[in-house]
Structure 1
């Protein structure tokens, strides 16, 4: 266990601390403590699965872990160790990410989610996948308060969710404020969020002040689904927050990031980790002492809660046959853990290009999906890679358009300005090689783009395959606008991959690199740390 990762320090917080309590109160001279547990981006990973953990020396350990039964056991253990003085927080992206979740429109998650004993949560960027009405229905049935200060009804301007929650635990008065991704209408297919408006994350500023001044919160915690870099920027811009609980980018933050006395942490994904934040207040008016630990839910450490395991089994039973149907095999491990490129997405984009015969294929840099070990590939694996299936769309783009697109995407992923960050990882490609540098100025990062082994020519047109996102204009492919000769095909992304797996069984990869950053290591696991 990393002893350096379990820190206990005094945090200097701007504006921290409420008015001192009366000295005749029995708690006025006693230290008070409570624990906040935090998970995010579970992506409907209800069961244990292959997982990759990392040691401080960079060594990778592949094992099994995760799942709601282990998450429940870990939360129960922590609650017991602190006399029940604990809260459990969910950072969103809860109901999307697997085949059974998609087929049931999120229903398979509900029973296990309620059994975890979550105390407060927020919506993630994928909660809109089945439309605003279904999002409200699911989040209204979880059995705990859901916060989001920046989601409003577009017609009325009324908020969909409360912005804040105050809870007293172990004698500590917590104030929570929730905020989700303001870029949902652009990151997800626009049709998903029709009728909703997403405001800038800084709208939480007056709520933070109110939690301190009106509600007497001693510890103010922002629950965010913005991505780690933007959560850090929020901490820099909005004073008075003690801790920012960050979600969306699946970053595994073992040591808290500090900005101006505010801690920012993120707890990984796929129910494979549980963050633990211990809070102690020695006496009124004294700033809280904080300690953070990121708990890895490995199979050799947690057996799993049997009650939650049964709830999961019952929920998934109707979907076992479909999810377990073998559609191909892989001779190599397939992972989705990489900012630049991944082995899983090499298979997906090769499948898209082969299905249509274009020179290039592109797919979004999705983060969801645990590793797949060598052996059978199932229908469930396919839906885990691609929980939403859309028709394929082909068209013609110029070399200049490709260059502009890549400059834009590199800025979205590697910008030093958090306001320019958008989504998470780079697009995935087949038939093209991209080389760039992150340390160059915006618009000057691309070193080279090759198609078919030849440098692109700005005026030449190249055929491209991508997906047709619901709500996008007909001439838009993978966020490339003004595509010529666009055609939407009957074959969808899923069927393209199935056909590819049948034709290439077992799948093998040549190991060549399609995307290279000259100033970064070959494998970039973390968007924030870039290593």
Structure 2
């Protein structure tokens, strides 16, 4: 049984390590004859090849530091491999070849050489790995030096798996298996056209695959690496016995202290290359007897950049530098997206979408993409980081009843008490509309107030809305609202909407405006995690 985060201050302390001492970078093995296994993993790199400003929060304090970049990830891997005599398993938990302008303009090809330079041992395809279509996903998998693993991703026509369900590696004296599982909700989360021709299974086969890895393959350690989000990963851990550590990804959660569930640890390693997770396991007689976890912050002050990987990154980005560095506007304030309910950056995006459509309401999706924008120029590359897909905008007329139903479902997607019912990202971001809700209320009864233009929404009235056109959706679908009247696809996409908005808006604000308020939530909620 799960309890909502907002009544559990202890859960926040557990997830973010607010009161826990920080472990050392170099764990010392307990005395005695033991074999040590070290696992490193990154998650949700989102094609952030270069270092960038990152917002860190811990112990009630916030700070911004330069972090990440593939060259810094490589340097951290190299340092720890040297410390451990090479006996290290290095993994990537997905959403890797999408999320930047260079990735979008090359369908992920710009990532191949820098990724291969990291020396990964394996990876799980994330929910955004299909953004360029199944054929490109297969092509990128062939170009990578490390294998992709996914137990539940199949060709729809043949039923055959695209990738092996697990990999087995001998790391020093320890045989380890990594079972991969990607998000089965991809056909609904992403525009349906992206995954056409693919089939996604549920987790039913995972317990048998874990047993197979131990009994047939002789694995002494079994890792379950999933791309379904931390809350779902915690729920899944109780249903898949025999796993030593569950490496989670997708929701960009920063697990400073591991979550224990059914004897397994569940961890998630942040995003954008700003973090790397380290697990150390000690074994005696083939059994895990001790374990240690650290979420390593890959900041400029702690790690240099690997020169060879930096050269490969520069070469990959060189053809696109001029286009992506072109200025499109300016901000006098830092704009960051790291909040589940409302944030200043998405307020700007929703305003831009609404202005482009000339409607009463604008809706931006609850994406988690993008590192903070510091005061200064806004460039083309920033637009791609924040909106890595450029589907056209779409308008339509929607009843008040439809708006209520939409928001109740979106609130359920984010705050469902049962983890397996969580779906997608954070809440959509509105402009021209405000809502108040209770996250702990039952499904379908969370909304307290819903207003458009400062007036309560009337169920029978029709309201004009601008949102996204998703490839493969029905003509009368508007940003997951079905049955829209008078739908019309515009000749402008979200990037152009933001360009126009920045050109006509002299000053942006970083203030929260109370557009979406959870009455039983903190003012800024940075996690969807639910603690058992």
Give distance in 2, aligned partners of 1:9 and 1:528. Answer: 30
For residues 340-373 of structure 1, give each alpha carbon's deviation from its aligned partner in whole angstroms, at most 9, with x where no partner exists.
0221111111011111210001011000100000
Structure 1, residues 467-509: CA drift from partner, whole Å, max 9, x if none? 1000001111110000111111111111111111111134335
User: Aligned partners of 2:20 and 2:392: how far apart in 1?
Assistant: 49
Q: Indicate yes or no: 2:456 matched with 1:439.
A: no
For 2:13, the equivalent position in structure 1 comes to none
Deviation at 1:70, TM superposition (A): 0.7
Distance 1:384 1:202 in 2: 35
Match of residue 147 from structure 1: 149
Q: Deviations over 1:377-421 (max 9, x none)?
A: 001101111111011110111111111111111111011111211
Deviation, 1:237, is 0.6
Give the corresponding residue for 1:324: 325
With the length of structure 1 as denominator, give the TM-score of the two structures: 0.94
> Following the alignment from structure 2 to structure 1, what is the Cα–Cα distance between the partners of residues 56 and 428?
24
Q: CA deviation at 1:203?
A: 2.1
Is 2:47 aligned against 1:44? yes
Contact 1:9–1:289, Cα closer than 8 Å, also in 2: no
Q: In structure 1, what is the equivalent of residue 220 of structure 2?
A: 218
Gaps of 5+ in 1: 11-28
Provide the rounded CA distance (Å) in 2 between the counterparts of 1:494 and 1:347.
12
> Quick one: which of 252, 259, 262 aligns to 2:264?
262
Q: Any stretches of 5+ residues in structure 2 without a counterpart? A: 1-16
Q: Is the 8 A contact 1:99 1:383 kept in 2?
A: yes
Question: Structure 1 residue 201: deviation in Å?
Answer: 2.3
1:14 aligns with none
1:26 is aligned to: none
- Tell me what 1:164 maps to: 166
* C-alpha separation in 2, matches of 1:53 and 1:81: 27
- The CA RMSD measured in Å over matched residues stands at 1.7
Query: Following the alignment from structure 1 to structure 2, what is the Cα–Cα distance between the partners of residues 142 and 90?
Result: 12
Superposed displacement of residue 3, structure 1: 6.6
- The answer for the alignment partner of 1:24 in structure 2 is none
Distance across 2 between alignment mates of 1:206 and 1:5: 36
- 2:9 is aligned to none
1:345-360 correspondence to structure 2 within 5 Å: 345-360=346-361
Distance change (3 Å), C-alpha of 1:350 and 1:294: same
Distance 1:99 1:286, change over 3 A: closer
Query: What is the CA-CA distance between 1:510 and the residue it aligns to?
Result: 5.5
C-alpha distance after superposition, 1:419-457 (max 9, x if no partner): 211002000110011110011111111111111011111
Q: Residue 366 and residue 404 in structure 1: after superposition, are their counterparts in 2 closer, same or farther (change >3 A)?
A: same
Partner of 2:34: 31
Gap change, CA 1:511 and 1:223, over 3 Å in 2: closer
- Contact 1:413 1:426 (C-alpha < 8 Å) held by counterparts: yes
Contact 2:220 2:287 in 1 (8 A): no
How many residue pairs get aligned? The number is 510
Equivalent of 1:90, from 78, 89, 92?
92
Match of 1:4 in 2: 21
Alpha-carbon separation, structure 2, partners of 1:288 and 1:436: 46
Distance 2:447 2:138 in 1: 42
- List structure 1 segments (4+ residues) > 2 angstroms apart after TM superposition: 1-10, 285-288, 505-511
